[in-house]
Amino acid sequence: MEVETGGSLMRSGQAGESAVDAVVQQIRDLIASSRLKVGDSLPTERELCAQFNASRNTVREAMRILKAYGLVDVRPKIGATIIDNRMSRAFELFSFNTMELSRKSFSDVQALRGLLEVGSAEILVDKVNRSDLNELNDINAELAANHDLNEASEIDYAFHVRLVSILDNAAILDVYAVMKPVILRIMQKGKTRRTFMTETFSEHQGVIDALAARDRLAFQYRLRTHLMFGARHFSQEMEATA
């Protein structure tokens, strides 16, 4: 078994701990000892240099690690603030080697979308507000404009992301970010049919209307139908090319 070398998450003071890893550990300790929470600020880079007797480049490399792990957000002039994007990072890491574009992946992703979008109807009709509806309308209006296949798919995707964003659930948004490539492929497949764009537009419109009326059943029916049509087109396409 390969021993974990160069690990920046190295536990307590290892022998061959590099200066950068030491600074990472010290910043972690600082966060813990100072009881820093999400939203709090870290000292400036130069202050950290002085505090840890490290050069600025070393501190910066340590910060890069913390940024990569989704623990801090660094902005010029603002400084480093503590965040917790670890879930997003985990999904991003995972997205590299998962979700290959097999037929089963497509149907699995569609099923997952169905569970999330249709299943959250109750919460959606409860939480949806005026600006949500406005933005959904805007996105859908954009869909009606002339776009090529890829642009239209992006807009279609944006519509569904905006829909689930009403839930205010970061985990679900992360899931959608991971599935994005697959979802786009599904949509592109479906859009090869000529009438697709107008169909999508009117189906989306029906979803929005049901949402505006806070009609859960209509919302579920229309959204489920919408998703199933996409799946059906896709199946036909796949069978034709298989």
Binding site for DNA (CB under 7 A): 6, 18-20, 44-46, 53-58, 60-61, 63, 74-80
Q: 70 contacts which partner out of a copy of itself, DNA, none, CB within 5 to 8 A by kind?
A: a copy of itself
Distance CA 5, CA 140 (A): 50
Coil/strand/helix, residue 82:
strand
Footprint on residues 110-139 left by a copy of itself (CB under 8 A):
111-112, 115-116, 118-120
Q: Is residue 91 close enough to count as binding a copy of itself by CB under 8 A?
A: yes
Q: Residue written as tokens 């279609």? A: 156
Q: 80 contacts which partner out of DNA, a copy of itself, none, CB within 5 to 8 A by kind?
A: DNA
Q: Is residue 205 close enough to count as binding a copy of itself by CB under 8 A?
A: no
Task: Name the residue among 182, 168, 187, 170 with its Cα closest to residue 229.
Answer: 187
* CB distance 237 to 189 below 8 Å: yes
Footprint on residues 9-28 left by a copy of itself (CB under 8 A):
9, 20, 28
- Give me the helices (H) in the chain, please: 19-33, 45-52, 56-68, 86-95, 103-113, 119, 121-127, 130-144, 149-165, 170-190, 196-212, 216-241
Give least dist CB 202 to a copy of itself, A: 26
Footprint on residues 67-86 left by a copy of itself (CB under 8 A):
67-71, 73-75, 82, 84, 86
Q: Which is nearer to DNA, 66 or 186 (CB)?
A: 66
Give least dist CB 40 to a copy of itself, A: 10
Distance CA 124, CA 166 (A): 7
